[in-house]
Amino acid sequence: MHGSIITLLKRYVQTQYDHSTWVKLMELSGLDTVVFDHKTVYPDEHMYALVGHAAEMTGIPAGELHEKFGEYLVPDLMYMYQKMVKPEWKTLDMIEHTEQTMHKQVRLEHTQNMPPVLNVTRLGANELVIDYVSPRRMGGLAVGIVRGLATYFDESDLIDVQPTTSEDGERVRIHVRRSSL
Ligand code: HEM
């Protein structure tokens, strides 16, 4: 997993909980000697262990934590890749173009980067379906990212996000609809 995502997970835990919670999670995950940075690609197991222990500690299911973390990630992700965003894009356009812009760029940056494949079908101006495909099974993170994008583009009151399959499979279908004003 991309180091930026794990360092943002660290900041998420430190700001939503506190620094000692992060230290405890690292110990429980057997990672107390690991130092995370933005440039390294880390084994996915690190992220699974951290989120798994966080779920045990907080009593919040891992899927729900993934969603909350996905929402939190968006402003930083958008900042990192802002040059690729067209000024006229809103939430649905961003989702529709992620595969050919942001995720394409992430794949080029490092051969070990492997963001999920997002097959997006635009059903109309106000509706699309995302077919998420990834062996990482982080569909909850995708749902959270969609919510975070809606907040980022000031459309959180308008955007409805509905996973229509289980969120923890390798293929997850997510229906996104914008109500017209
Ligand atoms: C806003 C623009 C976006 C940027 C800059 C971005 C960037 C990234 C990066 C850097 C990773 C880590 C990849 C790796 O470690 O191999 C990642 C993973 C991921 N992205 Fe994106 N992403 C964006 C939009 C989206 C959208 C719109 C979705 C879904 C609706 C999405 C879903 C995911 C998920 C679920 C992962 C976790 C890894 C996995 O499931 O395989 N991303 N993204």
The reply to whether 88 and 111 lie within a common domain is yes
The reply to whether 90 and 136 lie within a common domain is yes
State the pLDDT at residue 145.
98
State the pLDDT at residue 180.
78
Domain count, the chain: 2
Which of 100, 112, 124, 123 shows the shortest CA–CA distance to 173? 123
The reply to whether 41 and 96 lie within a common domain is no
**CATH assignment at residue 121:** 3.90.1520.10
The reply to whether 49 and 80 lie within a common domain is no
**Whole-angstrom distance, CA of residue 176 vs CA of residue 181:** 16
Task: Tell me which residue range forms the domain holding 87.
Answer: 67-178
Pocket test for ligand 1, best of 79, 93, 98 (most atoms within 8 A of CB): 98
Determine which residue's CA is closest to atom 1 belonging to ligand 1.
Answer: 78
Find all residues with CB under 8 Å of 6, minimum gap 6, and list them: 36, 42, 46, 47, 50
CB 172 within 8 A of CB 139: yes
Which of 62, 59, 50, 51 shows the shortest CA–CA distance to 168? 62
State the pLDDT at residue 72.
97
The reply to whether 73 and 126 lie within a common domain is yes
The reply to whether 122 and 45 lie within a common domain is no
Determine which residue's CA is closest to atom 39 belonging to ligand 1.
Answer: 116
**Whole-angstrom distance, CA of residue 10 vs CA of residue 12:** 5
Report pLDDT digits (tens) over 2-35. 999 999 999 999 999 999 999 999 999 999 999 9
The reply to whether 50 and 88 lie within a common domain is no
Which of 138, 133, 129 shows the shortest CA–CA distance to 116? 133
Report pLDDT digits (tens) over 95-152. 999 999 999 999 999 899 999 999 999 999 999 999 999 999 999 999 999 999 999 9
Report pLDDT digits (tens) over 27-74. 999 999 999 999 899 999 999 999 999 999 999 999 999 999 999 999
Find all residues with CB under 8 Å of 22, minimum gap 6, and list them: 10, 13, 14
The reply to whether 72 and 149 lie within a common domain is yes
For residue 181, pLDDT beyond 80: no
Determine which residue's CA is closest to atom 33 belonging to ligand 1.
Answer: 142
The reply to whether 77 and 142 lie within a common domain is yes
Query: Confidence class of residue 170 from pLDDT cuts 50, 70 and 90?
Result: very high
Separation of CA 122 and ligand 1 centre (Å): 19
The reply to whether 55 and 73 lie within a common domain is no
The reply to whether 136 and 49 lie within a common domain is no
The reply to whether 92 and 56 lie within a common domain is no
